[in-house]
Chain A
Amino acid sequence: MSIIQQHSAASLSDAWRTINIDALQEDSSINFDTSTLHPPLPETSESEVRQINAQVRQLLRGGDTEGALRGCLEMPVYNGSDAAKEAHLQTVIEVLQSIKASEMTPMLQRIYGTPGGSECLDVLMKYLYKGMANTASSGGSAPRTPTRVTPQQTGFSQVGGRPGGSSESTGAAMSVLLSWHEKVVEVGGLGSIGRVMTDWRKV
């Protein structure tokens, strides 16, 4: 191999393109913790979540669905264990499922009209997306905290055993979330979807 060939082989290879030059720079963004950019969020423990959930359920039993919905949206679990977050999601979905379709829009409009209502709708949107992600992605293998939304057997695993009832209830849960999504967009606009994506406070 001539020198020219060697040379061009070395420079033509594009291995240098995959060098992460940011890692070599001391003050680059990958060398610092991006969470330090934001003030820390108050941590919510599991017992607190249980307490909120109990209150919400009580409101639900009393027939105050709007109060129940507000109650769980005003106390989102941003900083907490996975179990706490999951438990809160479960409560939110429970509340959503217990509200009639005809009540959705007027209730959302009432909530949006009150101070802090826009924030509440953004939180609701976050839970809707989280709920959809759970129903859509969780495979049957991993032992997850069971939610009311039954995990779906995804993709080819369905070929083996017909999941029967489970997929139907998943579909039902998804349709609840989707109809809520539609109503929230009607009231809160596309801005609320954008805020779910930009927000660093994840539920």
Chain B
Amino acid sequence: MAAPEVHHLFHNPIADHSFSADRKTLAIARDTTVELYRKVGDTFKLVDELKGHDKTVTSVDIAPTSGRIVSCSQDRNALVWEPSPQGYKPTLVLLRINRAATFVRWSPSETKFAVGSGDRLIAVCYFEEENDWWVSKHLKKPIRSTITTVAWHPNSVLLAAGSTDAHARVFSSFIKGVDARPDPSVWGERLPFNTVCGEYLNNSAGWIHAVAFSPSGDALAYAAHDSSITVVYPSGPDQPPKAVISINTQLLPFMSLIWNGEAEIIAAGYDCEAFRFKGGINGWQLSGTLEAKGRPGLSDGREDSALNMFRQMDLRGKVKDDTQLKTVHQNTITMLRPYESSGDSVRKFSSSGIDGRLVIWNT
């Protein structure tokens, strides 16, 4: 396995990151701005700062085809940044929420995006031609707490959301005039706006940190604060799911997860490294870490001279320098994104975290 590509961008947390389709442009949510980096040779160079929010930017997403960037922030706003020859032009979105916006993602069709918020609702936003404005419709029931994460189904109608009320839910976000009628699927046939197609709760019920549909859209995975991931295989509308598989791990909670084909999930979080899960409808299990242990270049295996040892003892009062984690990331990983895919499987994925690093991994 080739070594991961590590980019230490700055010494601040990265709330979210997103690559453009050509993977040359990288958007990073840092404090109250969205920073745009351009790949120059092997490194990323800061080329632009999108300033428009006045509180912490919580999430950012680049639409692959149109190149539009959407960002949302604790200032309760979302902005759509339209690329133009003079740079990016922001447009305010009418979210109508009175709590922080926490998470934003473009739908695969790029005609809509969903904004999760602390106002116990999801704003599904679309462009209204006659008013020349991004407007929103609210998914409200039965959400009882802050939405922490959302994920789109490949059909751009179904939307999965995780919340601090410990439920992962699947909603229909069908908007007349914007969406084509979706094909019937395991999640349901008739899907008017705000249909709840599924509602899932773990046994020990921790906050949901991440949700994701499998590439086919027929299974849903979510990660919760009880250090578990759960995979749900629905069987049809108004029927109990075919299988709900929950894996409680010995690890710390996961913050983000992605599917790699239908039989593999990659999850990462407070353990600062990514883990691989393998399985299917008959069961899932943790199959190991993606971190190559004992990689050369880590100071771990280095022999210390006696002089060095005594110097360390004198300087720091201890022999071993234990301020460095053995993982590539030096703090919690908060976001995983597919970077390079072939068909349904992910060949490379990127991770970002509180340590200000962006890492591109080979699966």
The answer to whether B166 has its CB under 8 Å from any CB of chain A is yes
Q: A194-B225, A194-B227, A199-B205 are in contact. Are A37 and B144 (CB under 8 A)?
A: yes
Chain B residues with CB under 8 Å of A119's CB are 203, 248
Give the contacts of B191-208 with A (CB-CB under 8 A).
Answer: 201, 203-207
Is B251 among interface residues, defined by CB-CB distance under 8 A? yes
5 A–B pairs (Cβ distance < 8 Å), ordered by A: A29-B120, A191-B249, A191-B250, A194-B227, A198-B204
- By the criterion CB–CB under 8 Å, are A194 and B205 in contact? no
Residues from chain B with Cβ under 8 Å of A32 in the complex? 144
Mask: chain A, 112-145; 1 = CB below 8 Å from B; 0 = not: 0000001100100000000000000000000000
Residues on the A chain within 8 Å of B120, using CB:
27, 29
- Kindly provide the distance from the CB of B183 to the nearest chain A CB, expressed in whole angstroms: 33
CA distance A197 to B249 in the complex (A): 15
Which 7 residue pairs of A and B lie closest in terms of their CB atoms, listed nearest first?
A189-B250, A191-B227, A198-B206, A199-B204, A198-B226, A195-B226, A191-B250
CB neighbors of B among A70-93 (8 A) = none
Given contacts A191-B253, A195-B206, A199-B205, 9 further A-B contacts (CB under 8 A): A37-B144, A189-B227, A190-B250, A191-B228, A191-B251, A195-B226, A199-B203, A199-B206, A201-B204
| B251-A195 in contact (CB<8A) | no
Residue picked from A32, A122, A190, most chain B C-beta under 10 Å: A190
Decide yes or no whether B218 CB sits under 8 A from chain A: no
B204 touches A192 (CB 8 A): no
Tell me the smallest distance from the CB of B33 to a CB of chain A, in Å: 28
User: Chain B at the A interface: mostly helix, strand, loop or mixed?
Assistant: loop
Chain A's nearest CB lies how many Å from the CB of B164? Answer: 10
Which B residue sits closest to A190, measured CB to CB? B252
Q: What are the residues of chain B within 8 A of A118 when measuring CB–CB? A: 248
- How many residues of B are counted as interface, with CB atoms below 8 angstroms from the partner's CB atoms? 23
Asked if A188 and B250 make an inter-chain contact with CB atoms under 8 angstroms apart, the answer reads: yes
> Size range of the interface on A?
20 to 34
- The interface residues of chain B lying within 8 Å CB-to-CB of A122 are 204, 248
Q: How far is the CA of A151 from the CA of B249 in the complex (A)?
A: 35
- Report if A192-B205 is in contact (Cβ < 8 Å); known contacts: A29-B144, A37-B167, A198-B226: no
B→A interface (CB under 8 Å):
120, 144-145, 165-167, 201, 203-207, 224-228, 248-253
Q: Complex formed: what's the CA distance from A195 to B227 in Å?
A: 7
Give the complex CA separation of A194 and B252 in angstroms. 7
CA distance A200 to B204 in the complex (A): 6
Q: Is the CB of A190 within 8 A of B251?
A: yes
Alpha-carbon distance between A34 and B228 when the two chains are bound, in angstroms:
22
A38 contacts the other chain (CB 8 A): yes
Whether A198 contacts B249 by the Cβ 8 Å rule is: no
A199 near B144 with CB under 8 A, answer no
Q: Please name the residue on chain B nearest to A200 by beta carbon.
A: B205
Q: In the complex, what's the smallest C-beta–C-beta distance from B236 to chain A, in angstroms?
A: 22
Q: Which residues of B contact A189 (CB under 8 A)?
A: 227, 249-251
Shortest CB–CB separation between residue B197 and chain A, in angstroms? 19
What CA separation (Å) do A195 and B251 show in the bound complex? Answer: 11
> Shortest distance in angstroms between B119's beta carbon and chain A's nearest beta carbon?
10
Task: Report which residue of A37, A122, A199 has the largest number of chain B beta carbons within 10 angstroms of its beta carbon.
Answer: A37
User: In the complex, how many angstroms separate the beta carbon of A14 from the nearest chain B beta carbon?
Assistant: 20
The CA-CA distance from A32 to B145 in the complex, in Å, is 11
| B226–A199 CB distance below 8 A | yes
